[in-house]
Amino acid sequence: MEPILVLCGPTASGKSQLAVEVARAFGAEIVGADSRQIYRGMPVGTAAPAPEQLLAVPHHLVDFLDPHERYSAARFTQDAMRAIDDIVARGKRVIVVGGTGFYIRALTGAVSLAPEYDEHLRERLAREARAHDGEFLFTWLRTRDARRATMLHPGDTYRVLRALEVALAPDASRARTAPLRTLASAGYPFVKLALDVPVEELDRRIVVRVDAMLASGLTEEAERIGPDAVAASAVGYPQALGYLRGWLTDREMRASLVRATRQYARRQRSWFRGEPAVRWVTPSELPAEAERLWSSKRS
């Protein structure tokens, strides 16, 4: 069985394009691991793969979910494993690529996933959310699961509450949950590589990306998605919606979006620095790493 390449890294590090180039060279298909690129009709704000990239290489778990639908790491793991099984069965190689660290950790089997649904706990947390602001909930999460909190934005109330639900679940509930099938439990060999791009270069790329998003219609996309969508908490949409409501000028929106994206990229870097068994490579080193990984049976 050929190993699976898991490619991760912060936003604007060039994962999507590099994954397409490697996939074309080595006969691979791509499985997305991004908690926002899963949503339909949001290509601008989520920096989803461009149409030409989607045509060049088959992509899975990208642009398939309604923006109002909730999703979880457990569901992602199930969906990703089905996609991987199908790709391997057809004799193709697999590249898992994305910047959502918890998705990658869950898929590789390096973390225990959420317990079974606890109606009473979820109702309690819903009451807490009505009584307290997002900063209170985020601080609560940090006291219970500081590691998970590093990957979440304080304003992403849905994901903060979901993480609290996992952190507060009683041990008995965890024990009753059947373990999900993961790369590790299924016996799939895999290698985790993270793209190492200097912070200064990331900052420069983020500015370029923000300007491109604004020019491509981010505010129109945010207005169409609306503030009630689960996906509207992603970086970019709160800033665009603030502008549309008259709370921000266009200059303030741009500055806020650059700042929020840089903060998100730094949280991602911090997460992946602590990711088990990850190896950092520069973008120029990635093709050679793929060559070594799959050299025995190159397509």
CA–CA separation, 28 vs 249, rounded Å? Answer: 44
What phi-psi label fits residue 188: left (phi over 0), alpha (psi between -120 and 50 degrees) or beta? beta
CA–CA separation, 206 vs 235, rounded Å? Answer: 12
Burial of 207 from C-beta contacts in 10 A (0-12 / 13-18 / 19+): middle
CA–CA separation, 6 vs 80, rounded Å? Answer: 12
HEC string of 16-72 equals: HHHHHHHHHHHCEEEEECCCCCCECCCCCCCCCCCHHHHHHCCEECCCCECCCCCCC
* Amino acid, res. 28: A
| pLDDT given for residue 254 in this prediction | 97
| pLDDT given for residue 183 in this prediction | 96
HEC string of the chain equals: CCCEEEEECCCCCCHHHHHHHHHHHHCEEEEECCCCCCECCCCCCCCCCCHHHHHHCCEECCCCECCCCCCCHHHHHHHHHHHHHHHHHCCCEEEEEECCHHHHHHHHCCCCCCCCCCHHHHHHHHHHHHHCCHHHHHHHHHHHCHHHHCCCCCCCHHHHHHHHHHHHCCHHHHHHCCCCCCHHHHCCCEEEEEECCCHHHHHHHHHHHHHHHHHCCHHHHHHHHCCCCHHHHCCCHHHHHHHHCCCCCHHHHHHHHHHHHHHHHHHHHHHHHCCCCEEEECHHHHHHHHHHHHHHHCC
Triad 46, 51, 55: Cα angle to 5°: 130
| pLDDT given for residue 176 in this prediction | 45
Pick 56 or 127 by higher pLDDT: 56
* Amino acid, res. 100: T
Kindly tell me if the per-residue pLDDT of 6 is higher than 50.
yes
Which residue has 């800033």 as its token pair?
A: 239
| pLDDT given for residue 124 in this prediction | 82
Kindly tell me if the per-residue pLDDT of 22 is higher than 80.
yes
pLDDT in tens, 183-203: 999 999 999 999 999 999 999
| pLDDT given for residue 80 in this prediction | 98
CB-CB contact of 104 with 144 (8 Å) = no
Kindly tell me if the per-residue pLDDT of 268 is higher than 50.
yes
Structure tokens at 13: 């590090």
Kindly tell me if the per-residue pLDDT of 175 is higher than 50.
no
pLDDT in tens, 63-118: 999 999 988 888 999 999 999 999 999 999 999 999 999 999 999 998 766 545 56
Pick 286 or 117 by higher pLDDT: 286
Assign 298 a pLDDT band (cuts: 50, 70, 90). very low
CA–CA separation, 173 vs 142, rounded Å? Answer: 22
Q: What is the mean pLDDT of the chain?
A: 90
Structure tokens at 112: 């225990």
CA–CA separation, 231 vs 240, rounded Å? Answer: 13
| pLDDT given for residue 119 in this prediction | 65
| pLDDT given for residue 72 in this prediction | 86
CB-CB contact of 248 with 261 (8 Å) = no
pLDDT in tens, 109-167: 987 665 455 667 777 888 888 888 888 888 999 898 888 888 787 877 877 887 888 78
